[in-house]
C-alpha cells in the first residue's frame, strides 16, 4: 500500500519517503524561452518574424510537455507495479485552478500568485497522474478525503496548523515527530482516513509502516 501526496514544489511524495519531481526545461532552455517571449512581444502582428518566433517557442513548450508525459507514464507504471493499493487525495482540480483573474463582478486578489499556482498544478500533472494510475491499476486506486492531511501528524494523529512549519518541514506540536511535510501528508493519505471507495470514516493508526523501498528510477 502507498499514499501519494501531490504538490507543486514536490510533484508527488510517496509514503515510503520518495520525493518525485516532474522534469522541466533546463535552465538554458528556460532562458531561451524568455528571450523568445520578449522577441514575440516586440514583433509586429502578422509579420513573418513573429510567426517564426512563435514556432520556436512552441517547439520548446512541446519539448517540456513530452518530458512531462514521459515522466508520468514511467512513474505510474512503476507505482502500479509495486503496490497493491494506491491512495490519493480526492482533489477537485478544476475548482482549484479557477481563473486567476476572477470575473468582472468578483475580481481576484493576488492574481500573480494564483496564476503561478495554477501553472504549477498544471505542470505537475496532478490529474494525469491519477488518471493513468486508475487505468494501469484498475480498482486499486482509492481516493481519500483531503481534509487536514497536511496538518495531521502521521505518528500520533494530532492535527494542528502550527505543526506545518514550512513547505518542507513538519514537526508535530504534540509529540515532536519530525518529517518532510509532503511525506507526512502522504502517510496520512496511506492511512486511508475517509476512503470513498469503502465509504464512511475509519480510525487508522500511523501509516509509516510501509517498507522503505528503493527510489523510483523513472
Average pLDDT of 157-169?
94
Q: Quick one: cell of 47?
A: 509579420
Alpha carbon separation from 214 to 78, 117, 127, 167, 206 (Å, rounded): 11, 31, 25, 24, 21
Q: What is the pLDDT of residues 18-33, one digit of tens each?
A: 999 999 889 999 999 9
How, if at all, do strands 178-180 and 169-171 pair? Answer: antiparallel
Phi, psi of 8 (to 5 degrees): -100, -50
* Residue 102, C-beta contacts closer than 8 angstroms, at least 6 positions apart: 108
How, if at all, do strands 86-89 and 19-20 pair? Answer: unpaired
155: pLDDT strictly greater than 90: yes
Q: What is the pLDDT of residues 47-85, one digit of tens each?
A: 999 999 999 999 999 999 999 999 999 999 999 999 999
- The whole-angstrom separation of Cα 17 and Cα 185 is 11
Q: What is the pLDDT of residues 176-185, one digit of tens each?
A: 999 999 999 9
Q: How many CB atoms lie within 10 A of CB 7?
A: 20
* 3-state DSSP helix/strand/coil % of the chain, to nearest 5: 45, 15, 45
Amino acid at each position: 500500500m502507498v499514499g501519494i501526496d501531490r504538490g507543486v514544489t514536490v510533484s508527488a511524495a510517496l509514503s515510503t519517503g520518495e520525493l518525485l519531481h516532474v522534469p522541466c526545461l533546463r535552465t538554458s532552455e528556460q532562458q531561451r524561452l524568455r528571450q523568445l517571449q520578449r522577441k514575440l512581444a516586440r514583433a509586429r502582428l502578422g509579420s513573418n518574424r513573429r510567426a517564426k518566433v512563435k514556432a520556436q517557442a512552441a517547439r520548446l513548450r512541446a519539448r517540456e510537455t513530452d518530458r512531462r508525459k514521459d515522466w508520468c507514464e514511467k512513474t505510474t507504471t512503476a507505482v502500479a507495479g509495486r503496490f497493491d493499493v494506491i491512495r490519493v487525495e480526492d482533489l477537485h482540480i478544476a475548482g482549484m485552478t479557477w481563473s486567476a483573474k476572477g470575473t468582472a463582478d468578483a475580481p481576484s486578489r493576488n492574481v500573480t500568485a494564483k496564476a503561478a499556482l495554477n501553472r504549477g498544478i498544471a505542470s505537475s500533472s496532478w490529474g494525469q497522474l491519477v488518471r493513468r494510475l486508475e487505468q494501469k491499476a484498475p480498482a486499486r486506486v482509492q481516493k481519500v478525503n483531503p481534509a487536514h492531511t497536511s496538518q495531521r501528524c502521521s505518528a500520533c494523529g494530532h492535527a494542528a496548523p502550527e505543526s506545518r512549519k514550512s513547505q518542507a518541514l513538519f514537526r508535530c506540536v504534540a509529540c515532536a515527530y519530525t518529517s518532510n511535510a509532503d511525506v507526512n501528508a502522504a502517510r496520512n493519505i496511506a492511512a486511508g482516513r475517509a476512503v470513498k471507495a469503502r465509504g464512511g470514516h475509519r480510525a487508522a493508526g500511523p501509516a509509516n509502516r510501509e517498507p522503505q523501498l528503493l527510489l523510483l528510477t523513472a
